[in-house]
Amino acid sequence: MKIIVSGGTGFIGHALVEELARQGHEVVVLSRRSGHAPRSSVRSVEWDACSAGPWHSEVATADVVINLAGAPIADGRWTDARKRLLVESRILSTRLLVDALAGRSAPLPLLISASGIGYYGPSDDRLLDEASPIGQGFLADLSASWETEALRAGRLGTRVVLLRTGMVLEQGGGALPKMLLPFRLFAGGPVLPGTQWVSWIHRSDLIGLVQWVIATATISGPVNAVAPEAVTMKTFCATVGRVLHRPSWLPVPGLALHLALGELGTLMTTGQRVDPAKARAGGYTFRYPTLEPALRAIVNKEDQACLPSSPR
């Protein structure tokens, strides 16, 4: 298959592109830097996510487009300017891709477009599946607008899948390295109140879900990209401490996060208990369905990377 990936050089996209190429697919990355690709067998085509260009001809002959473009949610305080960047980097790039699909001679078979479980808004202990209604707040509104742009492709005859992704766990990116650091310094603990839910997924399962969606023609619409075991923040941090052989004793007050991060702090002090109902019903087998083995695999990989190489 010929697979186009926007946002293919980021924390998730880079690993996804590597795996798709390893499987023998023809992979083309849409990148702001032409020629910048994760491996030699992957082609990179320049795009600025806001205007037409040579990438149009690549989309015209693609079998699958995977849209991961968008500024990172947690990389800066949510000022008005930052919020505008978060919105525009998602909405405008998705609109541009879907507009390009309208010029194809035949419908694109599959568009996989990123979204987030922020769609459901801050929630209580209710278990949320893909049929649950939209919540309230900035992330809910952003996710809904993002999905609306992607769903326009459905009117062109394209199968559209919306990956509502939770906290993605792996070394080298995402929220986990920032969370591990205080534990390594014996200063880790839960973000209060501690009862908020954390819906997470190991990056290898997120990549596995993308592959499963590509191979499963009956799947369309929203798909919750989370592991089956959501946990509370208190349990999450206790598990981190156990894996790292560190205490989880120093709670982080929500007020401190709010003062440091502003509205962005709500990401850590609120949460959603999300169920991957479609994936479970459709037969996807999670490599890491529970948290502790997922964290141990990540920490063990980090430890192995730090070991000195054997002398030759």
Give residue-wise pLDDT tens across range 288-306.
999 999 999 999 976 555 5
Q: List the chain domain ranges.
A: 70-301
**Residue 132: per-residue pLDDT:** 98
**pLDDT at 147 > cutoff 90:** yes
Q: Provide the pLDDT for residue 262.
A: 83
Supply the mean pLDDT for the chain: 91
pLDDT confidence bin for 252, thresholds 50/70/90:
confident
CA angle 286, 291, 296 (to 5 degrees): 100
Give the contacts of 251 (CB within 8 A, at least 6 positions apart). Answer: 189, 190, 191, 192, 194
Q: Edge-to-edge strands of the sheet including 221-225?
A: 43-46, 26-31, 2-6, 64-67, 110-116, 159-165, 221-225
pLDDT bucket at 310, cuts 50 / 70 / 90:
very low
Q: Give the integer Cα–Cα distance in Å for 237 and 161.
A: 32
Q: How far, in Å, CA of 81 to CA of 173, rounded?
A: 24
Global pTM reads 0.93
Cβ atoms 277, 130 nearer than 8 A:
yes
CATH of domain 70-301: 3.40.50.720
- Write out the two tokens for 293: 């083995």
Q: Are 150 and 92 in contact (CB under 8 A)?
A: no
Closest C-alpha among 273, 275, 270, 271 to residue 286: 275
pLDDT band at residue 308 using 50, 70 and 90 as cut-offs: low
| Strand, coil or helix: 68 | coil
d(CA 20, CA 206): 13
Query: In terms of Cα–Cα distance, which of 208, 221, 176 is closest to 288?
Result: 208
The pLDDT, as a whole number, for residue 303 is: 57
pLDDT score recorded for residue 302: 65
Q: Where do the H-state alpha helices sit in the chain? A: 11-22, 55-60, 80-101, 138-151, 176-184, 203-215, 233-244, 254-261, 266-269, 277-281, 291-306
Task: Please report the sign of the dihedral spanned by the C-alpha atoms of residue 257, residue 263, residue 264, residue 269.
Answer: positive
Rounded (5°) CA angle 110-113-119: 135
- Per-residue pLDDT tens digits for 71-85: 999 888 899 999 999
- CA 258 to chain CA centroid, Å, is 24
117 and 224 in contact (C-beta within 8 Å)? yes
The DSSP code sequence of 96-140 is HHHHHHTTSSS--SEEEEEEEGGGG-S--S-EE-TTSPP--SHHH
